[in-house]
Structure 1
């Protein structure tokens, strides 16, 4: 009798589009493993990501607004869930492999720093060779997770991580779907958060963008997904020229307004100080690092170990560690 996994693989062969990634054709893992009788390799990757510590820490990592006073602002975790929803909608409509798409979407930001892109820029300036969160996401699942054993994910998932933001496109259509979904998600939910924060007026979006994409978050997301599905081919994903131009114009608008707003970014100098002070303290005193990171010190150097440790911190843990090191504590009389 065929296993559940084998029946799922048969369904993939029968139902997925010609360009979709079949789980049975995966390039495999860094370390070979015996196949699971219930789950395909991409389903196992998704499950490993959901259950890992780095995924849970995303709930206390900044998306755009640092330590916002309000329950409804996005965090890195809620951003990830929105990317996943959009990417799965695209994948299902195009008959791509939803399990691979979901694994890439759920893990694409595992390597993100505390304090969002402000933390990433701070570490990039300090770490020899620089720091990019998409590269760190691969390092997290290859080296750091599961007590430094790594999650041993498939090549296709790891390729989706490294190609999710810029530069070379992912080798799979599923990875490309996540790249589109990531930008669709963050541009639109960041508009909503910026309006809530008073950084952006509801009527501030350029009229030519609104005319093409729509006036509300839901309409814009629906327009972008529908257009992408309609104009993609079995060989690649693409918008129509009109929607693609509006998509790029909205991206440029966000980077010239919300992402450089003085009010929204007024705390970023403090972020640079927190990251820089923590980095210096650990580099000069590597024995303060947890034991597992000391092994990285011996194997790959202190800078690498310190970068791995700080980039994995949540916002709250980074602040708490900074306070422990540099803020005088109250005297407690016994």
Structure 2
């Protein structure tokens, strides 16, 4: 499952009751190629890609500090001296750097100093947060909810909403329809469906 490809599928195939939205190629390209391992073909798409990186790392730092997984002072000084020591400072530094170094270019770029600091901070977050054992345990819990839901609906196709069932023309469409349904769930709704399907009701009685 790739969230960027699913976003394009939602826009092209699922919105407007299956008719899709009348979006330009440029917009769809920006949606598909906004992630780390791909490159958009338009300047607008490149702006979105960098904005996604900036938001991603700074929101995750902020969340980690609030969750007491990290302290602001834990962030390596070699990166905070370049980017800033607060959420606001880091956002401001990166945005202004992009504006300054993209001026008069047919491209959207960061300076090497700021880009290297951002990449270094991202690597630090992987080591201290994303791949930290307790974080991995929480990630496994998510997989243990989504995986069984997926397998369940592959077998019990009749329990899919009518909207998703009408997307099935042949057996090979079932996994895609199930994926569409689960991808559209909120966290709360996924937990609710998992509880409804897999947890005996008398376990839930007070």
TM over 0.5: yes
Q: Deviations over 1:285-334 (max 9, x none)?
A: 11111122222222452111111111111111111111111112249xxx
Give the secondary structure class of the aligned counterpart of 2:121.
Answer: helix
Contact 1:199 1:263 in 2 (8 A): no
RCO comparison, higher one (Cα < 8 Å, 6+)? 1
Equivalent residue, structure 2, for 1:228: 98
Give the secondary structure class of the aligned counterpart of 1:169.
Answer: coil
Extract structure 1 runs of 4+ deviating beyond 4 A.
none
Equivalent residue, structure 2, for 1:166: 36
Contact 1:194 1:200 in 2 (8 A): yes
Give the secondary structure class of the aligned counterpart of 1:147.
Answer: coil
Partner of residue 127 from structure 2, selected from 232, 242, 256: 256
Equivalent residue, structure 1, for 2:111: 240
In the alignment, the residues of structure 1 paired with residue 115 and residue 195 of structure 2 have an alpha-carbon distance, to the nearest angstrom, of: 46
Equivalent residue, structure 2, for 1:283: 154
Query: Where do 1:1-334 residues align within 5 Å?
Result: 131-232=1-102, 233-299=104-170, 300-330=172-202
In the alignment, the residues of structure 2 paired with residue 267 and residue 207 of structure 1 have an alpha-carbon distance, to the nearest angstrom, of: 29
Moved more, 200-209 or 322-331: 322-331
Equivalent residue, structure 2, for 1:92: none
Q: How many equivalent residue pairs?
A: 201
In the alignment, the residues of structure 2 paired with residue 204 and residue 256 of structure 1 have an alpha-carbon distance, to the nearest angstrom, of: 12
In the alignment, the residues of structure 1 paired with residue 120 and residue 37 of structure 2 have an alpha-carbon distance, to the nearest angstrom, of: 19
Give the secondary structure class of the aligned counterpart of 2:201.
Answer: coil
Per-residue deviation at 1:265? Answer: 4.0
RMSD: 1.6
In the alignment, the residues of structure 2 paired with residue 210 and residue 271 of structure 1 have an alpha-carbon distance, to the nearest angstrom, of: 32
In the alignment, the residues of structure 2 paired with residue 199 and residue 298 of structure 1 have an alpha-carbon distance, to the nearest angstrom, of: 47
In the alignment, the residues of structure 1 paired with residue 133 and residue 37 of structure 2 have an alpha-carbon distance, to the nearest angstrom, of: 29
In the alignment, the residues of structure 2 paired with residue 159 and residue 239 of structure 1 have an alpha-carbon distance, to the nearest angstrom, of: 21
In the alignment, the residues of structure 1 paired with residue 181 and residue 156 of structure 2 have an alpha-carbon distance, to the nearest angstrom, of: 13
In the alignment, the residues of structure 2 paired with residue 310 and residue 186 of structure 1 have an alpha-carbon distance, to the nearest angstrom, of: 23
Q: What stretches of structure 1 of length at least 5 have no aligned partner? A: 1-130
In the alignment, the residues of structure 2 paired with residue 193 and residue 274 of structure 1 have an alpha-carbon distance, to the nearest angstrom, of: 23
In the alignment, the residues of structure 1 paired with residue 100 and residue 161 of structure 2 have an alpha-carbon distance, to the nearest angstrom, of: 51
Per-residue deviation at 1:147? Answer: 1.6
In the alignment, the residues of structure 1 paired with residue 84 and residue 186 of structure 2 have an alpha-carbon distance, to the nearest angstrom, of: 35
With structure 1 as the length reference, what TM-score do the two structures score? Answer: 0.57
With structure 2 as the length reference, what TM-score do the two structures score? Answer: 0.91
- Larger fraction in helix: 2
Q: What stretches of structure 2 of length at least 5 have no aligned partner? A: none
